[in-house]
Amino acid sequence: MRKVAIVGIGHGKFGVRSDASLRELVFEAVKACLEDAGVTLDEVDSMVTGVACDEFSFGIQPSAQVHDYIGFYPKPNYRVEAACATGSVALRTGWMNIVSGLADLVLVVGVEKMTEVSTSVATEIMGRAGDAIWEYPFGTTFPGYYAMIANAHMAEYGTTEEQLAMVAVKNHYYGCLNPYAHMQKEVTLEKALTSFPVAYPLKLYDCSLITDGAAAVLLASEERARAISKKPVWMVGLGLATDTLRLGDRRSLTSLSAAREAARVAYKMAGIGPMDIDVATVHDCFTIAEIVAYEDLGFCEKGEGGKLIEARETYVGGRIPVNVDGGLKSKGHPLGATGVSMAIEITKQLRGEAGSRQVKDPEIGLTHNVGGSGQIALVHIFRRE
């Protein structure tokens, strides 16, 4: 199997980007990515564009908007979609293009422009990522889906609202240190606990942000990677798994079985285990999702996720630093861009370029990206040279 490395990264500012269209957001990220790699767009063989939702982009060919605006034609570019996991599916697809021999240099872009509609409309649109027959018509939204997961976890394992709030406190702290984060604002435990309720037990600061943003990475075959980069970051483990569309068809609401299976496959491919991970980014669309991710990825025993954050083990200096870029919670969650942004954070950490958020001398990093309420999950493992 051909080896694949990340050799370039580019990240635009996440936030309410009324100053830029979807295609302009991509231009920012692609320009930074190519400059980081030291290559031109003409040298790139192929491109993959991750955009989750046509209704946010107001068009059914967002990938065409992108390649037209940056001038990437007639070379291959196509769009992939997997709800909130779209960016990681784009990354996996770029990796497959290189492993198959179809390309040696692939540009992977993730983007979403979500704030052109109101919060209520955005919430309604995203609610349709659940079962459009048996869930959405009855009023379910994503805060509602994850509130059910939180209630189940609290009932079975004694997880507390304070432990949920601790995730928000951590991630907002690190978001303040990330210049690309949407909300660069620290939150106290008291403020998180007393913020207004969204869907019990989830409150305002338990929920991720509706965000505009784009991120891009350049993938290369081994020969090209060694010619381009002095610090290639290798993709060494890839796991993807799926689960039932409807929450009510699952055996348990305290875990995402797709994430557990994706992690198992990725660890096996990389030839490592959970305790070998030095730094991770996980899908904290809601604070309970980060706690469940700790357990699904094997960072702690089942039911111990709340205790892991309470002991500050997921801070820099702890046993397994998690979401030290602010996570979805503070950095923001532009659906199509999230998985690519996660890969960029791990690349920075493994290169030693994360500044005040830098984990000490990491060798192996992991990303965990969930689509919808767990219908699809991807786990990627990265290793420095």
- Cis omega (within 30 of 0) for bond into 74: yes
Q: What CA–CA distance (Å, rounded) separates 321 from 279?
A: 5
**Assessment of whether the complete model's pTM goes beyond 0.85:** yes
pLDDT at 132: 86
pLDDT at 83: 96
pLDDT at 57: 79
Q: What pLDDT, in 10s, does the model give residues 251-267? A: 999 999 999 999 999 99
**pLDDT exceeds cutoff 90 at 58:** no
Q: What pLDDT, in 10s, does the model give residues 112-168? A: 999 999 898 999 889 888 888 998 888 889 999 999 999 999 999 999 999 999 999
pLDDT at 201: 98
pLDDT at 364: 98
Q: Where are the alpha helices (DSSP H) in 128-219?
A: 142-157, 161-175, 189-194
Is 283 part of the annotated catalytic residue set? Answer: no
The string of DSSP codes covering 299-357 is: SS-TT-HHHHHHTTTTSTTSSS-B-TT-HHHHH---GGGHHHHHHHHHHHHHHT--GGG
**pLDDT exceeds cutoff 90 at 375:** yes
Confidence of residue 384 (pLDDT cuts 50, 70, 90): very high
Mean pLDDT of the chain: 97
- For residue 307, how many other CB atoms are within 10 A of its CB? 17
Question: What value does the mean pLDDT take over residues 215-244?
Answer: 97
pLDDT at 59: 82
Confidence of residue 27 (pLDDT cuts 50, 70, 90): very high
Is 381 within 8 Å of 267 (Cβ atoms)? Answer: yes
- Considering the candidates 67, 283, 333, 368, report the single residue annotated as catalytic: 333
Q: What pLDDT, in 10s, does the model give residues 39-53? A: 999 999 999 999 999
| SS3 at position 4 | strand
- What per-residue string of b and e applies to 197-215 under the rule 16 or more CB within 10 Å gives b? ebbebbbebbbbbbbbbbb
Q: What CA–CA distance (Å, rounded) separates 318 from 316?
A: 5
Q: Domain ranges for the chain, please list them.
A: 4-117+210-228
**Percentage of residues in the chain having pLDDT higher than 90:** 92
pLDDT at 266: 98
Is 333 part of the annotated catalytic residue set? Answer: yes
Question: What value does the mean pLDDT take over residues 352-359?
Answer: 97
The secondary element (H helix, E strand) that includes residue 199 is strand 197-199
- Considering the candidates 33, 84, 176, 300, report the single residue annotated as catalytic: 84
Shortest CA distance to 7 belongs to which of 352, 361, 344?
344
Q: What pLDDT, in 10s, does the model give residues 164-209? A: 999 999 999 999 999 999 999 999 999 999 999 999 999 999 999 9
**pLDDT exceeds cutoff 90 at 60:** no
pLDDT at 206: 98
Tokens (6 digits) for 334: 């532009």
Q: What CA–CA distance (Å, rounded) separates 182 from 211?
A: 7
| SS3 at position 106 | strand
pLDDT at 139: 87
Confidence of residue 372 (pLDDT cuts 50, 70, 90): very high
**pLDDT exceeds cutoff 90 at 360:** yes
Place domain 4-117+210-228 in its CATH homologous superfamily: Thiolase/Chalcone synthase (3.40.47.10)
342: amino acid identity, one letter: M
pLDDT at 128: 86
